[in-house]
Structure 1
Amino acid sequence: MIQFDRVSVTYPDAARPVLREVTLTIDEGELCLVVGHTGTGKSTLLGAINGLVPHFTGGRLTGRVTVGGRDTATHPPRELADVVGVVGQDPTAGFVTDTVEEELAYGMEQLALPPAVMRTRVEQALDLLGLADLRHRGLYELSGGQQQRVAIAAALTAHPRVLVLDEPTSALDPQGAEDVLAAITRLVHDLGVTVVLAEHRLERVIPYADRIVHVGADGAVTAGDPAAMLATATVAPPVVQLARAAGWTPVPLSVRDARRRAADLRHRLPATPTQPHRTATTRQATALTAAGVSVRHGQVVAVREADLRLAAGEVVALMGRNGSGKSSLLWALQGAGLRTTGRVEVPTAAGPADPARMKPATARTLVGLVPQTATDLLYLDTVDAELAQADRDATVGGRARALLDEITPGIGGTAHPRDLSAGQQLALVLAIQLSAAPAVLLLDEPTRGLDYQAKAALAAALDRLSAQGTAIVVATHDVEFAATVADRVVVMGDGDVVADGPAQVVLTASPGFAPQVAKILAPLPYLTVAQVSAALAAADPAPAASHAYGGGGRP
């Protein structure tokens, strides 16, 4: 179905090819998972399948890519639209209409399908992705996760033979991600659709994959059986990292398989982890107080009478299903977003201050926010220019570049910010916001586009900020990241705060929020691979296996 024959891709002014001599065959009805570190070229590989690379992106492609017998060199993307459906990292970039129903119908209109067929497929897609209640909603009124589901549904209505997905679950809550992946799996097994999918949250996708395609830092591409590839890969989900720590061979790829093998491990581990999880801070200093905060968008109540207190140095994970009000609450706390009722106060030397009543530059020194769409805060032509402007605004020269290198090293200063991968853009915006050293830092889905190595660096950066007294709120669907960084978890549902407590308690109270280690080792109270490795090392003087991600936070 898809063939790469000695394909290399080099972008203008690049020192080396981003893809080098790629020879790869993907069969019909196969689900291929593309993995690799942030910025290695996964999106380029996906873009080459429907001709976006190089017809749209520019650069030079050598070799030959064919899809369903059509050569992408002589068939531009519009001539492959009936064969290949594509959903990119930023779903809003592909929207061309105003409402959910119109967006689902648009692609079929371009293919001149009969109205009766279009209506049937729209209904099927709405049901498949759980969008029926949103059919008449405006696309830009939806949460990021809802927009992502709409983009996937719009691609499916054309009934493509090949479906290309770039981080399809990155903005979805755990249940939403399971629903989308179940729908994709049905397409593969029931209809023989070929799916090529890039994803950093491997714990969600690996159980469904037939094959893994690994894109290396040097542009080389290798492919093979998931278990064999992950046994030594530098990117691996917690279940594989746990298998390495426990010495299991072959490595299990699902919680079910791992739990079947974990009886002996549960027997070897002490009842209480030797490396305790982060616990709720006992510091008394208040960094932010919110009381009775409500946010209403038209007739929709996004946040309802929310109360929240943040202590200095505390890390709070804000969780909940898509559309539960997390982003609206963050923007209300920062002051730049809508707040219908309620008050927000941040202590200052002059007394309590409301960020909404301050100039944006001043408010940023009190409460910084990294939005879900990083490009909203990027407006200059180079990375160096963005970093220099951030330092000028914060009056601390050089800090932004140092922060960026800590989170995601290797991003060139002359690169255009909008040419970076989604993960690199996110890291850049985080560095820009941190340069102002705000007392409170709010992050909206900060791990979108980040691999495990970059997440570990981000976790370490947040840990340092926490130790310095910065209060941090991370709105996230990434339960593994929440298990690593959070002292406390606040769960929202339909605009209300429905749970608020220590991470150890809240994350294990529901299977939907539990990390893989907790599911595998229950009823033992372990959340991260780091806790397991520390306990095994204490019991056995031999060095415990290393892992790329899943640190346990400060003791």
Structure 2
Amino acid sequence: MIRFENVSVSYPDAPGPTLSEVDLHVPEGELCLVVGRTGSGKSTLLRAVNGLVPHFTGGTLTGRVLVDGRDTRTHPPRELADVVGLVAQDPQAGFVTDSVEDELAYSMESLGLPNPVMRKRVEETLDLLGLADLRHRPLATLSGGQQQRVAVGAALTAHPRVLVLDEPTSALDPGAAEDVLAALHRLVHDLAMTVLIAEHRLERVAQYADRVVWLPGDAKPVAGDPGEVLAGAPVAPPVVRLGQLAGWRPIPVSIRDARRLAGPLREQLGPPPTDHPARHTATPSPAGHRTRNGRTAPPADTHTGPDNGTPLLRAEDLKVRYGTVEAVRGIDLSVGEGERVAVMGRNGSGKSSLLWALQGTGKRSAGTVSVNGTDPADLKPGPRRRRIGLVPQQPADLLYLHTVAAECAQADRESDQPRGTCRAALDRLTPDIPDRQHPRDLSEGQRLALALAVALTPRPRVILLDEPTRGLDYPAKTRLAEALHTLADEGHAIILATHDVEFVAEYATRVIVLAEGETVADGPTGEVVTASPTFSPQTAKVLAPLPWLTVTDVATALATR
């Protein structure tokens, strides 16, 4: 169905080819997962399938890409639209209408399908992806994860034979991601659709893949069995790394296969220490309990403030309302020096609205916020950035200059920091990004790293991050965690809204779970994440009932046995 024949792609002024000598065959009815470091060429490979590379992006493509027998050199994207559906990293950039239902119908209108067919497919897609309650909503009012589901649905309604998805679960909560991937799995097995996915959150996708293609970036791609390829790649989900640590063969890529092999490892680890924090499991309530004034109080087992350190940020009875929608409903929050707090919850639960309300420039319907005794909303931009910084879900919103070097230099000037401060922060997150590169030409992960570096340059006392690992590979996440650890050790308070359960397990000291704008759980990471199968990391699922959350925890425990 998809065939790459000695394909290389180069762009002007680039130090080398983005893709080099790619030979790949993806047969009909296969789900193929493309992996690699940030900037290794995954998006370029995907866009070559429907002809966007090079017809739209420019550059030079050598070799041939054939899709259902059509050569993309002679068939531009419009002549492949009936065969290939593409879901890009940034769903907003691909929207052409204003509402969910109109967006789902647009691709079919472009193909000239009859109205009864369009109506039937829209209804099927709404049910398939859990979008029925959003059908009349304006796209601009949806959360990032909801927009991503709409983008997947808009591609599916055309019934393409090939579906290409670039980071399709990056903005989805764990439950929504499982729903989308399960739907794709059914399409592959029931309708023989061919699916090509590039994804960094491999713990979500690897179990569904028939084949994995690893792009090393400096050598020919490696394709083969998921477990074998991921075991040799620098990007691998925790279950694969746990299999390598334990010496399991074959290397498992699913929780089920790993648990079948994990009995001897659990015996070797022995009973958990009696004082291990994850033994004290919490049971988050789905809705909290109501007080007499109608507000929702946290469940009895929640953590209502930092155990130590001076509180840097306080919020009391914080509310955010958009028309008739209550996004945040009377949240009380206290975060102290050195705390690393993860805010979790399904898409639309109020995480982003909470962060913007805390930062001071977002909507706030009621309540108070103070950072070191001052409300950020009362500060001018410069002093506010030094007190509280926010990196939004769309990092491009912080970037407006023409080169990476210009963005870094401007961040240094605005923050009164020595020249090179922002560039040094960028290199710690994602090294080797060229100074003269335009920020809009960076990969999603590189663009996020640049926005993070800009926001961290003034060294704000409180740092707010909205989906900070979106588009980052595992090594980049490790570098981000190290940078945030350093800031926390220096007394900064860090709050991040995320769906990345593995990053939370590695990094956060405290987890807050929101539902419909209310706090339903708040406590130490080990307690909250192990109390829910939705938020539990892979290592915890494989080794349950033992309390270890990460492969690093297991390695440390084995070293002490």
Partner letter of residue 478 of structure 1? D
The residue number in structure 2 matching 1:368 is 389
Is 1:297 aligned to residue 322 of structure 2?
A: yes
Is 1:196 aligned to residue 218 of structure 2?
A: no
Secondary structure class of the residue paired with 1:510 = coil
Whole-angstrom distance in 2 between the partners of 1:60 and 1:275: 60
Partner letter of residue 314 of structure 1? E
Secondary structure class of the residue paired with 1:97 = coil
CA contact 2:306–2:335 (8 Å) conserved in 1: no
Whole-angstrom distance in 1 between the partners of 2:216 and 2:54: 20
Whole-angstrom distance in 2 between the partners of 1:31 and 1:325: 33
1:220 Cα deviation after fit? 2.3
Is 1:472 aligned to residue 494 of structure 2?
A: yes
Whole-angstrom distance in 2 between the partners of 1:15 and 1:230: 27
Q: Deviations over 1:405-427 (max 9, x none)?
A: 11111111111001000000100
Partner letter of residue 284 of structure 1? G
The residue number in structure 2 matching 1:392 is 413
1:283 Cα deviation after fit? 2.6
Whole-angstrom distance in 2 between the partners of 1:39 and 1:256: 32
Whole-angstrom distance in 2 between the partners of 1:151 and 1:100: 9
1:272 Cα deviation after fit? 3.4
Is 1:525 aligned to residue 547 of structure 2?
A: yes
CA contact 2:43–2:166 (8 Å) conserved in 1: yes
The residue number in structure 2 matching 1:377 is 398
CA contact 1:162–1:195 (8 Å) conserved in 2: yes
CA contact 2:9–2:61 (8 Å) conserved in 1: yes
CA contact 2:246–2:265 (8 Å) conserved in 1: yes
Matches for 1:118-197 after TM superposition, within 5 Å: 118-197=118-197
The residue number in structure 1 matching 2:8 is 8
Whole-angstrom distance in 2 between the partners of 1:130 and 1:282: 40
Q: Deviations over 1:106-129 (max 9, x none)?
A: 110010000000000000010000
1:275 Cα deviation after fit? 12
Whole-angstrom distance in 1 between the partners of 2:364 and 2:399: 25
- Go from structure 1 to structure 2 and tell me whether the alpha carbon gap of 1:150 and 1:501 turns closer, same or farther (over 3 Å shift): same
Greater CA drift, 140-149 or 240-249: 240-249
The residue number in structure 1 matching 2:70 is 70
1:260 Cα deviation after fit? 1.2
The residue number in structure 2 matching 1:45 is 45
Whole-angstrom distance in 2 between the partners of 1:310 and 1:322: 23
The residue number in structure 1 matching 2:466 is 444
Q: Deviations over 1:359-416 (max 9, x none)?
A: 1221111110010011011100000000000000111122111111111111111110
CA contact 1:18–1:218 (8 Å) conserved in 2: no
The residue number in structure 2 matching 1:549 is none
Whole-angstrom distance in 2 between the partners of 1:310 and 1:217: 41
1:277 Cα deviation after fit? 7.4
Partner residue of 2:558 out of 533, 536, 539: 536
Is 1:407 aligned to residue 429 of structure 2?
A: yes
- Provide structure 1 residue ranges, at least 5 long, that are not aligned to the other structure: 540-555
1:282 Cα deviation after fit? 3.9
Partner residue of 2:527 out of 502, 505, 519: 505
Partner letter of residue 314 of structure 2? T
The residue number in structure 2 matching 1:461 is 483
1:12 Cα deviation after fit? 1.2
CA contact 1:292–1:342 (8 Å) conserved in 2: yes
CA contact 2:87–2:152 (8 Å) conserved in 1: yes
1:197 Cα deviation after fit? 0.2
Is 1:358 aligned to residue 383 of structure 2?
A: no
Whole-angstrom distance in 2 between the partners of 1:527 and 1:275: 15
- Go from structure 1 to structure 2 and tell me whether the alpha carbon gap of 1:225 and 1:273 turns closer, same or farther (over 3 Å shift): farther
CA contact 1:227–1:251 (8 Å) conserved in 2: yes
Whole-angstrom distance in 2 between the partners of 1:319 and 1:408: 25
- Provide structure 2 residue ranges, at least 5 long, that are not aligned to the other structure: 279-302
Partner residue of 2:336 out of 304, 311, 321: 311
Whole-angstrom distance in 2 between the partners of 1:454 and 1:242: 20
Whole-angstrom distance in 2 between the partners of 1:109 and 1:78: 14
CA contact 2:351–2:497 (8 Å) conserved in 1: yes
Partner letter of residue 331 of structure 2? A
The residue number in structure 2 matching 1:238 is 238
Matches for 1:99-118 after TM superposition, within 5 Å: 99-118=99-118
Partner letter of residue 151 of structure 1? A
CA contact 1:32–1:213 (8 Å) conserved in 2: yes
CA contact 1:273–1:535 (8 Å) conserved in 2: no
Whole-angstrom distance in 2 between the partners of 1:50 and 1:473: 39
Q: Deviations over 1:529-551 (max 9, x none)?
A: 10100111222xxxxxxxxxxxx
Whole-angstrom distance in 1 between the partners of 2:137 and 2:437: 37
CA contact 2:359–2:376 (8 Å) conserved in 1: yes
Whole-angstrom distance in 1 between the partners of 2:208 and 2:170: 16
Q: Deviations over 1:503-553 (max 9, x none)?
A: 0100000100000111111111100110100111222xxxxxxxxxxxxxx
Secondary structure class of the residue paired with 1:231 = helix
The normalised TM-score by structure 1 is: 0.95
Greater CA drift, 277-286 or 370-379: 277-286
Greater CA drift, 201-210 or 263-272: 263-272
Partner residue of 1:331 out of 356, 359, 379: 356
Secondary structure class of the residue paired with 2:530 = coil
Secondary structure class of the residue paired with 1:158 = coil
Partner letter of residue 476 of structure 2? A
The residue number in structure 2 matching 1:346 is 371
The residue number in structure 2 matching 1:543 is none
Secondary structure class of the residue paired with 2:328 = strand
**Runs of 4 or more above 2 Å deviation:** 270-284
Partner residue of 1:488 out of 481, 488, 510: 510
The residue number in structure 1 matching 2:293 is none
1:261 Cα deviation after fit? 1.1
Whole-angstrom distance in 1 between the partners of 2:231 and 2:213: 14
Q: Deviations over 1:179-207 (max 9, x none)?
A: 00000001100111000000001110111
Whole-angstrom distance in 2 between the partners of 1:272 and 1:427: 38
Whole-angstrom distance in 1 between the partners of 2:26 and 2:180: 22
Whole-angstrom distance in 1 between the partners of 2:219 and 2:318: 49
CA contact 2:162–2:194 (8 Å) conserved in 1: yes
Whole-angstrom distance in 2 between the partners of 1:183 and 1:529: 30
Partner letter of residue 407 of structure 2? E
Partner residue of 2:439 out of 393, 399, 417: 417
- Go from structure 1 to structure 2 and tell me whether the alpha carbon gap of 1:441 and 1:274 turns closer, same or farther (over 3 Å shift): farther
Whole-angstrom distance in 2 between the partners of 1:313 and 1:33: 38
Identity of aligned residues (%): 64
Q: Deviations over 1:308-365 (max 9, x none)?
A: 1000100000000000000000000001110010010011xxxx11111111221111
The residue number in structure 1 matching 2:283 is none
Secondary structure class of the residue paired with 2:505 = helix
Whole-angstrom distance in 2 between the partners of 1:297 and 1:358: 24
Partner letter of residue 169 of structure 1? T
1:219 Cα deviation after fit? 5.2
1:281 Cα deviation after fit? 5.9
Aligned length: 535
Partner letter of residue 15 of structure 1? P
